[in-house]
Amino acid sequence: MIRASQARAARKRYREMVPVLNEQSRRRFVVLEAQALGRGGVSLMARISRLARSTIYRGLSDIRDNALVRSGRVRREGGGRKEEVIPGSYPCGRPQEVGRARDAGRPDAATVVDDPQLA
């Protein structure tokens, strides 16, 4: 069983370290803390770090398998949030035809083009 003092100390160490850690190193740090806490450490560190238990177990397997830390990108290519589409830039070089919300489902409603260049 984890004592309250151990939990406070783990929470303090996590708060001090998290600003300087990237995704992968944060996962590894949480795993090492969970191992140091012993039984119940994964659950406690999941609550402290708000990482899923499955993520912590994946970090445990990374450490156990001596997975190398790649320099540069943390996520694989294509991971993360997609690039924001800038209004007015169209992928095909022509404006998209957009119907108004109040006309949705009405086949007789005219399609409105929302582009000032075509008005």
Provide the residue ranges of all domains of the chain, joining segments of one domain with +. Answer: 4-64
Whether this prediction's pTM lies above 0.95 is answered by: no
Burial of 74 from C-beta contacts in 10 A (0-12 / 13-18 / 19+): middle
CB 62 within 8 Å of CB 35: no
What string of pLDDT tens digits covers the 119 residues of the chain?
789 999 999 999 999 999 999 888 899 999 999 999 999 999 999 999 999 999 999 889 888 888 776 666 666 677 667 777 666 665 555 554 555 555 566 666 655 555 566 55
